[in-house]
Chain A
Amino acid sequence: MSNETSVEAASALAVETLGLTRHFGAVTAVDQLDLTIAPRSIFGLLGPNGAGKTTTIKILTTMLAPSSGTARVAGLDVLKNPVQTRKVIGYVSQMLSADGALTGYENLLLFARIYGIPRRERKARIADALEFMGLSESGNVLVRNYSGGMIRRLEIAQSMLHRPLVLFLDEPTVGLDPVARHAVWQHLRELRERFGTTILMTTHDMEEADRLCENIAIMHHGRVAAIGSPESLKKQVGPEADLNDVFVHFAGGSLDDGQGYRESVRIRRTARRLG
């Protein structure tokens, strides 16, 4: 990365989309989405299944091209500069994506190499990542013997090895028990404090959105139906309102047609692996 782009990346909004749209055949998954996210914040993307959250993340992480509109991440245009963008982002998928046939250390080693972290720094970075995520004791254990919460923490460690400016997480605590969930939240907060990372996550968990995210956007039919801090949104809906009420208010509260067969299969598979 040239100096120019790092300066650009450092001084820009973490995420900025303008008229972002993505069609799948006749379906419009993301519809003229305008979204800005301030650097160093923890931002939650909420919405019913099929509201366009995952598609938005796929576009922002350069996995999917938009049909129209623009998206910038850390000041970099994801369409024009996909490779530069990939250098400054991290991604944790909804699925349990650590490789069970490898140890925690090996999982990190693979990504340290993929991200080109020099040999002399690798060991220290990996040891630091394991310690930071509370996995030092389990570094040499095969990941298939990890608990769901440990796997999730390992994946976050994996995504942070190269110190991304913006970290994307797709439902990071789905399927975790309350203790594991709180541990993940705590690690995400510490991560932001330590590295100044902007965190953009999708979630279905209102408690998570309320307690972890400073700002949230509720997506509905591919658009932002409401955006603001959980507090301000609750006030908008009513004096006694909680985030569930906010969600129902802005997302219609209908049981949505959204999630397709493939997505359901995937979610259930993840849930099963978490045991």
Chain B
Amino acid sequence: MAKAIGKALESGAPRAAWDNQSAPAAFLRATLALADVEVRKLRRDPTELLTRAIQPALWLLIFGQVFAHLKSIPTGSLDYLSFMVPGILAQSVLFIAIFYGISVIWERDLGILQKLLVSPAPRSALVLGKALSAGVRGLAQGIIIYALALLLRIHLDFSIGHVAGVIGFIILGSAVFSTFSLAVACIVKTRERFMGIGQVLTMPLFFASNAIYPIAGMPGWMRVVANVNPLSYQVDALRSLMVRGGQPVFGVGFDAIVLLLILTGLVLLTARLYPNVVQ
């Protein structure tokens, strides 16, 4: 019997390619393969993108117009709509990412997750692959917000460096919140509980941030919350990169470091929690 398997090995059969592959290459390949799946799905069925455009459009057209008219929020050199547009971009990315974790429950119920967990792909690659997939969705959302902003005659900054920066921060923000969402999904394990928690999380994450008003205008305790809220750092960077005349409060480099550190921590944590979903 043993000889039989030995022979099968010799015939080149059960020997796979991972033998001669470095760990980082394997990690990267698995991560990108998962994100690629999301791109393919989105290209095939883009209708979801249109329905996703409605909510940010309403925020900008109704809320934004009223507050721009009231002039009640001190936004420095920027007019209110220009101040708000990067916040609404971050918001719409957040709303997609924070519910993204449900896909792991969904894939568990379909048996896809089990197949991934039985593969030699590192768990952290599975998590980061999901995070990048959320980033793909976030980028699609970004295009919509840019289109809306152009309609509203916001002065957008289209220099290559700034657009590349916006792309980077959309992916980074999506990755942070989707990984957080995946961690929650790994803990609660059922759709119903997950949806309840998702609803509870979006409100404070959005309103206790600098998305639609500056942190300086908040009461002291809320300033503390806003300063530990990752969304504030994403908005801070987007605001200085996306619109002309936008100024960062924390600094773009600092924003990037904060978000990268949070992402690393969340990916490592979620990679540990990931197998729980199938148990």
Contact = CB atoms under 8 A, between A and B. Distances in A.
B123 to A, nearest CB: 10
A226 interface: no
B109 to A, nearest CB: 7
Interface in A1-43: 1, 6, 10-12, 14, 38-41
A274 to B, nearest CB: 13
Contacts of A90: 118
Say which size band chain B's interface belongs to.
35 or more
A46 interface: no
A61 interface: yes
B26 A95 contact: no
B10 to A, nearest CB: 9
Contacts, number: 145
B34 A110 contact: yes
Interface string B7-24: 111010111111101000
A197 interface: yes
B14 A165 contact: yes
A97 B110 CA distance: 5
Interface stretch (A112-120, A202-210, A215-223, A248-256): A112-120
Say which size band chain A's interface belongs to.
35 or more
B71 interface: no
B111 A97 contact: yes
Contact of A106 (B6, B8, B40): B40
Interface in B1-54: 1-2, 4-9, 11, 13-19, 21, 25-26, 29-30, 32-34, 36-37, 40-41, 44-45
B7 A196 contact: yes
A58 interface: yes
Given A39-B5, A121-B17, A101 B45 contact: yes
Contact of A83 (B36, B40, B120): B120
B279 A116 contact: no
A97 B115 contact: yes
A76 to B, nearest CB: 12
Contacts of B40: 102, 106
A102 B37 contact: yes
Interface in B250-279: 275, 278-279
B121 interface: yes
Given A97-B110, A162-B16, A195-B14, A114 B119 contact: yes
Contacts of A87: 16, 18, 120
A80 interface: no
Describe B's contact surface by its main secondary structure. helix
Contacts of B9: 6, 10, 196
A85 B6 CA distance: 17
B163 interface: no
A96 B115 CA distance: 11
B5 A164 contact: no
A111 interface: yes
Interface string A172-207: 000000000000000000000011111000000000
A63 interface: yes
B119 A115 contact: yes
A123 interface: no
Contacts of A62: 117-118
Contact of A102 (B6, B15, B41, B111): B41
Interface of A: 1, 6, 10-12, 14, 38-41, 58, 61-64, 83, 86-91, 93-97, 99, 101-102, 106, 109-111, 113-118, 121, 158-159, 162-165, 194-198, 266, 269
Q: 8 tightest CB-CB pairs across the interface, nearest first? A: A196-B8, A97-B111, A95-B111, A93-B111, A113-B33, A163-B14, A162-B16, A91-B118
